[in-house]
Structures are given as C-alpha cells and as structure tokens.
Amino acid sequence: DPTGEPRMLLEVIQQCGIAPSGLECQEGWTPVLAIGSNAGVSQLCRKFPLQLFPNGVVVPVIQSILEDFDVVYAPKVSSYGSATATLEASPGTQVELFVTYLTPCQLERMHATEGSYNL
C-alpha cells in the first residue's frame, strides 16, 4: 500500500482493479529478496513477458528492512550490460529493500533469468 498502512493483499489487488481470478494462486508464494533492479516494474516486465505469460502475472512487491546486511555492487555485469548488486554482511546495518512474492512458475522463471550464478 503506497500509504504505508498494512493491508491484506487481496484488498489491494481489488482496489487496483485486478480480478482475484488473475492470481495464479493465493497460497504457496515464495518470498524472494529483490536485490538491485528485480523489484522494478520494467525489470519484472522483462522477466515475465506476455509471450511467456499470456494471462499476465501479479507479483506482490513489499518494501522491507533487512538487518546486518547491505546492498553492494557485485563483480559481474548483466547480460544486458548493467552493473549487478548483491548482499554483503554488514553487522549493525539496516538496509531498505524489496521482497517479491513469486508463485512456483514465477520462481522457476526468475531462476532462469539469473544466469550468472546458480540459485
């Protein structure tokens, strides 16, 4: 919720005009830390294109705080030329990041798009 108020996901989806039937499932989502661009709308659209997901996808993205880690540049360049990010242990640090909630099918696709290492 953009106001920061806690709300049920189904309520937010309905407020956005998305039919609950558009959700692949409402249970069984896996929380995945979205480090770097993986929380961005354009990146999620690139990873979950209509050609592969003709009914579209709903990916809940929740802002969170992770303790004792920081987001740093990784020593890799993505397939499309951007600098990548990763986590580094950093005792006492609190970093804001996002968590995506992925269905089993979406999680499989996310793994396939993260090509420079094994998840």
Half-sphere exposure of 41 (CA within 13 A, CB side): 0
In a domain, 4, yes or no: no
Q: Is 61 among the domain residues?
A: yes
pLDDT at position 3, please? 59
Residues in a beta bridge with 64: 97
In a domain, 2, yes or no: no
What region, left, alpha or beta, does residue 94 occupy, with left being phi > 0 and alpha being psi -120 to 50 degrees?
A: beta
CATH number, domain of 32, equals 3.10.490.10
Residue 103 lies inside a defined structural domain of this protein: yes
Full strand arrangement of the beta sheet holding 83-102: 30-34, 83-102, 61-77
- Average pLDDT of adjacent 10-residue blocks, the chain of 119 residues: 63 70 65 88 91 86 92 80 86 94 91 71
Polymer length of the chain: 119
The DSSP annotation for 30-67 comes to: EEEEE-GGGGSHHHHHHHS-TTT-TT-----EEEEEEE
Structural domains of the chain, count: 1
118 within a domain of the structure (yes/no): no
